[in-house]
Structure 1
Amino acid sequence: MTKTIEISDETYEFLCRTAHELETQNNRHTDTPIFRIYETQKVERREGCGDHVERLDYDGAEEHYCQGCKDILESTDYDYDQLPEVFSDACDCRYSDGATWTFDKELLPASGGYDGVAFLTEKAAEEYRQDNDYHFNGSGVVYAESAFRNHELKPLIAAIKEIAATGAAASEGES
Protein backbone atom coordinates (compact mmCIF):
# COMPACT_ATOMS: atom_id res chain seq x y z
CA MET A 1 0.00 0.00 0.00
CA THR A 2 1.32 3.41 -0.96
CA LYS A 3 0.56 6.51 1.08
CA THR A 4 1.17 10.12 0.21
CA ILE A 5 2.44 12.43 2.91
CA GLU A 6 3.11 16.16 2.84
CA ILE A 7 6.36 17.37 4.40
CA SER A 8 8.24 20.64 4.15
CA ASP A 9 11.18 21.03 1.78
CA GLU A 10 13.50 21.41 4.78
CA THR A 11 12.30 18.14 6.30
CA TYR A 12 12.61 16.37 2.97
CA GLU A 13 16.18 17.65 2.52
CA PHE A 14 17.03 16.52 6.05
CA LEU A 15 15.61 13.05 5.36
CA CYS A 16 17.59 12.81 2.12
CA ARG A 17 20.87 13.87 3.76
CA THR A 18 20.31 11.51 6.68
CA ALA A 19 19.32 8.63 4.39
CA HIS A 20 22.46 9.24 2.31
CA GLU A 21 24.62 9.09 5.45
CA LEU A 22 22.83 5.94 6.64
CA GLU A 23 23.47 4.26 3.27
CA THR A 24 27.09 5.36 2.80
CA GLN A 25 28.61 5.43 6.30
CA ASN A 26 30.76 2.66 7.74
CA ASN A 27 28.24 0.61 9.73
CA ARG A 28 31.06 -1.05 11.66
CA HIS A 29 29.73 -4.55 11.05
CA THR A 30 26.27 -3.94 12.45
CA ASP A 31 22.96 -3.82 10.59
CA THR A 32 21.50 -0.80 12.39
CA PRO A 33 24.21 1.20 14.10
CA ILE A 34 23.66 4.04 16.48
CA PHE A 35 26.60 6.15 17.52
CA ARG A 36 27.49 7.31 21.01
CA ILE A 37 30.30 9.31 22.52
CA TYR A 38 32.54 7.50 24.98
CA GLU A 39 35.16 8.98 27.26
CA THR A 40 37.83 7.79 29.64
CA GLN A 41 36.47 7.79 33.17
CA LYS A 42 37.96 6.99 36.56
CA VAL A 43 36.25 3.98 38.14
CA GLU A 44 36.93 3.52 41.84
CA ARG A 45 38.38 0.18 42.95
CA ARG A 46 38.93 -1.14 46.43
CA GLU A 47 42.30 -0.45 47.98
CA GLY A 48 45.13 -2.11 46.10
CA CYS A 49 43.00 -3.35 43.19
CA GLY A 50 43.19 -0.38 40.81
CA ASP A 51 45.96 0.57 38.42
CA HIS A 52 46.07 4.21 39.58
CA VAL A 53 46.30 6.00 42.93
CA GLU A 54 45.63 9.70 43.52
CA ARG A 55 45.48 11.90 46.55
CA LEU A 56 41.90 12.77 47.51
CA ASP A 57 41.08 16.41 46.86
CA TYR A 58 37.68 17.04 48.42
CA ASP A 59 37.29 19.86 50.93
CA GLY A 60 38.88 18.72 54.18
CA ALA A 61 40.78 15.74 52.72
CA GLU A 62 44.08 17.42 53.57
CA GLU A 63 43.58 16.52 57.23
CA HIS A 64 44.30 12.91 56.18
CA TYR A 65 47.48 13.79 54.21
CA CYS A 66 50.93 12.84 55.49
CA GLN A 67 52.75 15.39 57.64
CA GLY A 68 55.12 16.35 54.80
CA CYS A 69 52.23 17.28 52.50
CA LYS A 70 50.44 19.15 55.29
CA ASP A 71 53.63 21.19 55.87
CA ILE A 72 53.91 21.99 52.14
CA LEU A 73 50.30 23.18 52.02
CA GLU A 74 50.76 25.43 55.05
CA SER A 75 53.97 26.95 53.68
CA THR A 76 52.53 27.56 50.18
CA ASP A 77 49.19 29.06 51.24
CA TYR A 78 47.45 25.81 50.27
CA ASP A 79 48.79 25.64 46.71
CA TYR A 80 47.91 22.02 45.90
CA ASP A 81 50.01 22.18 42.73
CA GLN A 82 53.10 22.24 44.96
CA LEU A 83 52.38 18.81 46.45
CA PRO A 84 54.71 15.99 45.39
CA GLU A 85 53.47 12.93 43.49
CA VAL A 86 51.83 10.33 45.74
CA PHE A 87 54.56 7.77 45.03
CA SER A 88 57.50 10.16 45.41
CA ASP A 89 59.93 9.87 48.32
CA ALA A 90 58.64 13.21 49.63
CA CYS A 91 55.10 11.90 50.18
CA ASP A 92 53.71 9.24 52.51
CA CYS A 93 50.03 9.93 51.78
CA ARG A 94 49.61 6.47 50.28
CA TYR A 95 50.17 5.08 53.78
CA SER A 96 47.75 7.53 55.44
CA ASP A 97 44.19 6.29 55.94
CA GLY A 98 41.74 8.35 53.86
CA ALA A 99 44.34 10.36 51.93
CA THR A 100 44.24 8.50 48.59
CA TRP A 101 41.89 6.53 46.39
CA THR A 102 42.48 3.70 43.94
CA PHE A 103 40.92 3.58 40.49
CA ASP A 104 41.13 2.22 36.95
CA LYS A 105 40.61 4.23 33.80
CA GLU A 106 37.92 2.79 31.54
CA LEU A 107 36.36 3.88 28.27
CA LEU A 108 32.64 4.29 29.07
CA PRO A 109 29.65 6.11 27.60
CA ALA A 110 30.01 9.82 28.27
CA SER A 111 28.47 10.96 31.52
CA GLY A 112 27.39 14.31 32.88
CA GLY A 113 24.10 14.53 31.03
CA TYR A 114 25.41 12.86 27.87
CA ASP A 115 25.08 9.22 28.87
CA GLY A 116 21.87 8.60 26.95
CA VAL A 117 22.64 10.62 23.84
CA ALA A 118 22.76 8.58 20.63
CA PHE A 119 23.03 9.61 17.00
CA LEU A 120 21.72 7.92 13.86
CA THR A 121 24.84 8.76 11.89
CA GLU A 122 28.51 8.73 12.72
CA LYS A 123 28.87 12.11 11.00
CA ALA A 124 26.34 13.74 13.36
CA ALA A 125 28.01 12.18 16.43
CA GLU A 126 31.46 13.28 15.30
CA GLU A 127 30.30 16.83 14.57
CA TYR A 128 28.66 17.02 18.00
CA ARG A 129 31.76 15.65 19.72
CA GLN A 130 34.03 18.15 17.97
CA ASP A 131 31.73 21.11 18.62
CA ASN A 132 31.32 20.19 22.31
CA ASP A 133 34.66 18.55 23.14
CA TYR A 134 34.97 20.63 26.32
CA HIS A 135 32.20 18.47 27.84
CA PHE A 136 34.16 15.25 27.47
CA ASN A 137 37.28 13.92 29.21
CA GLY A 138 40.01 13.90 26.58
CA SER A 139 37.49 15.08 23.96
CA GLY A 140 35.76 11.69 23.85
CA VAL A 141 35.57 9.21 20.99
CA VAL A 142 32.66 8.06 18.82
CA TYR A 143 31.73 4.37 18.99
CA ALA A 144 29.07 2.39 17.17
CA GLU A 145 26.50 0.38 19.05
CA SER A 146 23.65 -1.61 17.58
CA ALA A 147 19.94 -0.88 17.57
CA PHE A 148 19.20 -4.46 16.50
CA ARG A 149 16.94 -5.12 19.50
CA ASN A 150 15.22 -1.75 19.40
CA HIS A 151 11.82 -2.49 17.85
CA GLU A 152 11.07 1.23 17.43
CA LEU A 153 14.36 2.54 16.08
CA LYS A 154 14.97 -0.11 13.40
CA PRO A 155 11.72 0.65 11.53
CA LEU A 156 12.31 4.41 11.86
CA ILE A 157 15.73 4.07 10.25
CA ALA A 158 14.19 1.96 7.49
CA ALA A 159 11.42 4.59 7.03
CA ILE A 160 13.96 7.41 6.64
CA LYS A 161 15.74 5.42 3.94
CA GLU A 162 12.46 4.51 2.22
CA ILE A 163 11.05 8.05 2.24
CA ALA A 164 14.25 9.45 0.76
CA ALA A 165 14.46 6.64 -1.83
CA THR A 166 10.80 7.07 -2.82
CA GLY A 167 11.26 10.82 -3.14
CA ALA A 168 14.41 10.40 -5.21
CA ALA A 169 12.66 7.92 -7.52
CA ALA A 170 9.70 10.29 -7.92
CA SER A 171 12.06 13.17 -8.75
CA GLU A 172 13.80 11.09 -11.42
CA GLY A 173 10.42 10.16 -12.90
CA GLU A 174 9.47 13.83 -13.17
CA SER A 175 12.57 14.82 -15.12
Structure 2
Amino acid sequence: MPILIEERDNYLILATGSHADLSKLIKLKRDHGKWTGPVRIIRNDARLITDDDYYGRMAIKPIDADERRQARFVLDSLNEGLTSATTIAQHLGLLPRHVQDLMSKYKLRRSHWQAQRDNQILDADTASELASKVNKPAYLIRNAARSGQYVNGFKIYRFYEMRSKV
Protein backbone atom coordinates (compact mmCIF):
# COMPACT_ATOMS: atom_id res chain seq x y z
CA MET A 1 0.00 0.00 0.00
CA PRO A 2 1.57 3.31 -1.02
CA ILE A 3 2.06 5.99 1.58
CA LEU A 4 1.37 9.52 0.39
CA ILE A 5 3.15 12.37 2.10
CA GLU A 6 2.29 15.99 1.44
CA GLU A 7 3.14 19.23 3.16
CA ARG A 8 0.41 21.75 4.06
CA ASP A 9 0.91 24.82 6.21
CA ASN A 10 4.37 23.59 7.25
CA TYR A 11 2.91 20.32 8.58
CA LEU A 12 3.74 16.99 7.05
CA ILE A 13 0.51 15.09 6.58
CA LEU A 14 0.46 11.35 6.06
CA ALA A 15 -2.79 10.61 4.35
CA THR A 16 -2.78 6.99 3.19
CA GLY A 17 -1.74 3.72 4.75
CA SER A 18 -2.40 1.78 7.90
CA HIS A 19 -1.77 3.51 11.19
CA ALA A 20 0.93 1.00 12.14
CA ASP A 21 2.81 1.49 8.84
CA LEU A 22 2.62 5.26 9.12
CA SER A 23 3.83 5.23 12.72
CA LYS A 24 6.83 3.10 11.73
CA LEU A 25 7.65 5.43 8.85
CA ILE A 26 7.43 8.52 11.09
CA LYS A 27 9.74 6.95 13.66
CA LEU A 28 12.23 5.91 11.00
CA LYS A 29 12.30 9.36 9.36
CA ARG A 30 12.62 11.13 12.74
CA ASP A 31 15.44 8.85 13.84
CA HIS A 32 17.35 9.68 10.65
CA GLY A 33 16.70 13.40 11.14
CA LYS A 34 14.67 13.88 7.95
CA TRP A 35 11.52 15.10 9.70
CA THR A 36 12.07 17.52 12.53
CA GLY A 37 8.69 19.30 12.50
CA PRO A 38 5.31 18.07 13.69
CA VAL A 39 3.70 15.20 11.80
CA ARG A 40 0.04 14.28 11.85
CA ILE A 41 -1.67 11.09 10.74
CA ILE A 42 -5.14 11.82 9.35
CA ARG A 43 -7.85 9.98 7.42
CA ASN A 44 -8.23 10.61 3.69
CA ASP A 45 -11.64 12.25 4.14
CA ALA A 46 -10.58 14.44 7.08
CA ARG A 47 -11.25 18.16 6.74
CA LEU A 48 -8.26 20.28 7.64
CA ILE A 49 -8.82 23.23 9.99
CA THR A 50 -7.15 26.55 9.42
CA ASP A 51 -5.86 28.64 12.32
CA ASP A 52 -8.71 31.14 11.81
CA ASP A 53 -11.29 28.34 12.17
CA TYR A 54 -9.54 27.05 15.29
CA TYR A 55 -9.47 30.45 17.01
CA GLY A 56 -13.01 31.17 15.83
CA ARG A 57 -14.23 28.12 17.73
CA MET A 58 -12.55 29.40 20.89
CA ALA A 59 -14.28 32.80 20.77
CA ILE A 60 -17.07 33.45 23.26
CA LYS A 61 -20.37 32.77 21.58
CA PRO A 62 -23.33 35.11 22.10
CA ILE A 63 -25.26 32.27 23.76
CA ASP A 64 -22.51 31.84 26.37
CA ALA A 65 -22.41 35.58 27.00
CA ASP A 66 -26.19 35.64 27.50
CA GLU A 67 -25.97 32.67 29.85
CA ARG A 68 -23.27 34.39 31.92
CA ARG A 69 -25.43 37.51 32.11
CA GLN A 70 -28.34 35.37 33.38
CA ALA A 71 -26.00 33.76 35.93
CA ARG A 72 -25.03 37.23 37.19
CA PHE A 73 -28.73 38.09 37.58
CA VAL A 74 -29.26 34.85 39.54
CA LEU A 75 -26.29 35.67 41.76
CA ASP A 76 -27.64 39.18 42.37
CA SER A 77 -30.98 37.65 43.34
CA LEU A 78 -29.25 35.30 45.76
CA ASN A 79 -27.41 38.22 47.32
CA GLU A 80 -30.72 40.10 47.66
CA GLY A 81 -32.00 37.30 49.87
CA LEU A 82 -33.99 35.12 47.47
CA THR A 83 -33.04 31.57 48.33
CA SER A 84 -34.99 29.08 46.22
CA ALA A 85 -34.75 28.49 42.49
CA THR A 86 -38.52 28.93 42.18
CA THR A 87 -38.59 32.41 43.73
CA ILE A 88 -35.56 33.48 41.69
CA ALA A 89 -37.20 32.14 38.52
CA GLN A 90 -40.37 34.11 39.25
CA HIS A 91 -38.34 37.22 40.02
CA LEU A 92 -36.31 36.99 36.79
CA GLY A 93 -38.92 35.47 34.51
CA LEU A 94 -36.91 32.30 33.87
CA LEU A 95 -37.81 28.64 34.21
CA PRO A 96 -36.97 27.13 37.63
CA ARG A 97 -35.06 24.27 35.99
CA HIS A 98 -32.92 26.78 34.04
CA VAL A 99 -32.15 28.65 37.26
CA GLN A 100 -31.10 25.39 38.92
CA ASP A 101 -28.87 24.56 35.94
CA LEU A 102 -27.21 27.99 36.13
CA MET A 103 -26.67 27.65 39.88
CA SER A 104 -24.99 24.27 39.50
CA LYS A 105 -23.02 25.08 36.33
CA TYR A 106 -21.52 28.30 37.72
CA LYS A 107 -21.41 26.96 41.32
CA LEU A 108 -23.28 29.96 42.67
CA ARG A 109 -23.98 28.26 46.01
CA ARG A 110 -21.65 26.15 48.08
CA SER A 111 -23.11 24.07 50.85
CA HIS A 112 -21.58 23.69 54.28
CA TRP A 113 -22.67 20.97 56.72
CA GLN A 114 -22.71 21.17 60.48
CA ALA A 115 -23.71 18.83 63.30
CA GLN A 116 -24.31 20.12 66.86
CA ARG A 117 -24.73 18.23 70.11
CA ASP A 118 -24.45 19.93 73.52
CA ASN A 119 -21.18 21.88 73.25
CA GLN A 120 -19.75 19.75 70.45
CA ILE A 121 -19.82 21.10 66.86
CA LEU A 122 -18.69 19.14 63.80
CA ASP A 123 -18.10 20.96 60.50
CA ALA A 124 -17.76 19.49 57.00
CA ASP A 125 -17.86 20.58 53.37
CA THR A 126 -19.86 17.58 52.16
CA ALA A 127 -22.60 15.38 53.56
CA SER A 128 -20.36 12.33 53.11
CA GLU A 129 -17.59 13.92 55.14
CA LEU A 130 -20.01 14.78 57.95
CA ALA A 131 -21.48 11.27 57.77
CA SER A 132 -18.07 9.74 58.40
CA LYS A 133 -17.61 11.99 61.45
CA VAL A 134 -21.05 11.04 62.84
CA ASN A 135 -20.69 7.36 61.80
CA LYS A 136 -23.92 7.22 59.80
CA PRO A 137 -24.70 7.00 56.05
CA ALA A 138 -24.73 10.22 54.01
CA TYR A 139 -28.38 9.84 52.96
CA LEU A 140 -29.41 10.03 56.64
CA ILE A 141 -27.44 13.29 56.98
CA ARG A 142 -29.17 14.79 53.93
CA ASN A 143 -32.62 13.71 55.12
CA ALA A 144 -32.00 15.03 58.64
CA ALA A 145 -30.89 18.41 57.28
CA ARG A 146 -34.10 18.70 55.24
CA SER A 147 -36.47 17.57 57.98
CA GLY A 148 -34.74 18.91 61.10
CA GLN A 149 -34.15 15.48 62.63
CA TYR A 150 -31.34 14.23 64.85
CA VAL A 151 -28.68 11.70 63.82
CA ASN A 152 -26.77 9.96 66.64
CA GLY A 153 -27.86 12.76 68.94
CA PHE A 154 -26.56 15.48 66.57
CA LYS A 155 -28.81 18.17 65.10
CA ILE A 156 -27.85 18.49 61.41
CA TYR A 157 -27.69 21.85 59.61
CA ARG A 158 -26.89 22.78 56.04
CA PHE A 159 -25.74 26.30 55.22
CA TYR A 160 -25.21 27.95 51.86
CA GLU A 161 -22.39 30.32 51.06
CA MET A 162 -22.83 32.57 48.04
CA ARG A 163 -20.14 33.34 45.50
CA SER A 164 -19.21 36.97 45.14
CA LYS A 165 -19.07 37.12 41.32
CA VAL A 166 -19.52 35.07 38.16
TM-score bracket relative to the smaller structure: under 0.3
Larger Rg: 2
Give the structure-1-normalised TM-score.
Answer: 0.18
Give the structure-2-normalised TM-score.
Answer: 0.18
Q: Which structure shows the higher helix fraction?
A: 2
Greater relative contact order structure (CA < 8 Å, 6+ sep) = 1
